[in-house]
Structure formats: structure tokens, C-alpha cells
Amino acid sequence: MFYHIMQTCTFASGISVVISLFLKYQAVRLTPFDPKWRKFVLFLIILPLIISVSMEVVLIVDHSLPLEIREHYEQLNLSNEQYTIVGVIDFFIWPSTVNTSVMVLSVFMFPVVGLLSLWKMRKLFKRTSDRVSAIKNSQRRLFLIGLVIQTFLPLIFYCPISLVYFYCIRTKEEILLQQYFMFTLPACPALIDPYITLYFVKPYRDTIKNWFTMRMGTKKVVIVSPATMNSTLMIVE
């Protein structure tokens, strides 16, 4: 059961990165999406997670909770002093097959979705670059740099550890790297993504700098002379 919970949390973190990419693409579009279309796209993004959770519920109810299965593992652990057997992953039962297929497709689709979003945003920015100021274009370039980093995060964190995982399944070989980092590395993109947004989106970056007094703002104070009623503008740093 713990394995399925960790798998769901890892998968949900990846889905959150894809949703973030979609919302960023929607934010830079000149014309907003139709609300019904936006909900449909978000549903398609979340659909793999819904399927995965449904299959995991079936696996837990049918292959973890029954009394005879728990007694079977208790008997196995009586003669095993090195480690505790809490379950066996069987990829030949249909819920596990469906769940694994969803995971495999999602791992390799995350980078594709990210690159497609990046390409569409670059195309949109290039088409409208002559309509905005130089400062706006500079902000867009920074935004795209952050998007490039965000796009390749799943490729860096998901694919290598997933390939090691599939290798272990195929060869039945135990690799400590896979056992210890299978659920921690895939969660890194969702952990790093907010910091990328905070740094590469200028209003957010300026706000953070002001919070940490790295960039002091100026306050404008208007002083009115009672004698002359003339207004003098004094800038206080």
C-alpha cells in the first residue's frame, strides 16, 4: 500500500508541472481559451492520474487487503530474517499492467508536452515581438529561458531513473540507486518549478528582491508649503 501511495504522489507532482506549463501558455496567449475547452484540456491532463489511482485502488483492495494474502506474507517473513516482505509487484495482472502502461507513457510524454508548449510560446512571441516594447521583449526572453529549464526538468529527473526501474523489472536485478531514488527524484521538478517561476518572471523577482531589501523602492512624498501653497515633490530613498 505504501508503494502505491508513493507512486501516486510522484505521479501527481509530474501532473502539476504539466498543468503549470498549460496555464503559462494560456497566460501569454493574446486571446484566452474558451472556458469549456480549458476545462477539457485540464481533464485530459489529469486523466492519467485518475486512471492510475483507480488501478491502485483495485490492486490494494484485491491484492493487499484480503486476509489470506496478509497471512501468506506473514508466513514468508517468518523464515526471512534479512528484510520484511510487504508485497510483490505482479505486472501480469490487468490493473498492474494498465497502471504501468500509464506510467511509462506519461514519463516519456512529459518532455514532449513541454517541448510542444515551448515551441508554441516561442512562435507566439516571435509573431508579436514588433507590437511590444523592448523591455517587454526582454521579459519574454527571460520567461522563455525559465520555460526551457522547466521543460527539461522532467527529462532530467524522470527518464533516467525510469529506465533504471524498467531495467530492474526486466532483469530482476536489485540496484540501490533505483530503490532509494525512485520516488524522490521524480518529485524534484514540482519542487523546483515554483522557484524558476519566481526568478524568471520579473514582477515576482522584483517582489522577492524588495522583501529581502535587495532592491529598495523609492517613496514619493508631496510636501505642501502653507505660506505659498506651492507643491514640492521630494523623493525619499
Query: What's the pLDDT tens digit per position in 48-97?
Result: 889 988 988 888 888 777 888 888 878 877 877 777 777 777 777 888 88
Is the torsion defined by CA of 77, 83, 86, 87 positive or negative? negative
Q: How confident is the model at residue 231 (pLDDT cuts 50, 70, 90)?
A: very low
Residue 192 falls inside a structural domain: yes
- Report yes or no on 6 lying in a domain: yes
Question: Is residue 215 in a domain?
Answer: no
Mean pLDDT, the chain, as a whole number?
Answer: 76
Q: Tell me whether residue 122 is in a domain.
A: yes
Q: What is the pLDDT of residues 38-48, one digit of tens each?
A: 889 889 889 98
Mean pLDDT throughout 216-226? 49
Residue 233 has pLDDT above 70, yes or no: no
Residue 23 forms part of a structural domain:
yes
What is the structure's pLDDT at 40? Answer: 92
Is 181 within a domain?
yes
Q: Which residue has the cell 491502485?
A: 56
Please report whether residue 231 resides in a domain.
no
Whole-number pLDDT of residue 120: 83
Q: What single string gives the DSSP state of each residue in 125-150?
A: HHHHGGGS-HHHHHHHHHHHHHHHHH
pLDDT value at 220 more than 60: no
**pLDDT at residue 107 greater than cutoff 80:** no
So what's the pLDDT on residue 4? 67
Q: What percent of the chain shows pLDDT beyond 90?
A: 2
Q: How confident is the model at residue 232 (pLDDT cuts 50, 70, 90)?
A: very low
pLDDT of amino acid 43: 92
pLDDT of residue 118 exceeding 60, the answer is: yes
Residues 6+ apart with CB under 8 A from 74: none
**What residue numbers bound the domain in which 121 lies?**
2-201
Answer whether residue 229 shows pLDDT above 80. no
How many domains, in total, are found in the chain?
1
pLDDT band for position 187 (cuts 50, 70, 90): confident
**Is 182 part of any domain?**
yes
For β-strands 231-236 and 219-224, DSSP reports them as antiparallel
- Look at residue 183 and tell me whether its pLDDT is greater than 60: yes
Confidence of residue 20 (pLDDT cuts 50, 70, 90): confident
Q: Which of 177, 188, 183, 153 is nearest to 7 (CA)?
A: 183
Separation of alpha carbons 97 and 102, rounded Å:
9
Banded pLDDT at 133 (limits 50, 70, 90): confident
Model pLDDT, residue 41: 87
Choose the weakest-confidence range: 40-49, 75-84, 196-205, 228-237.
228-237
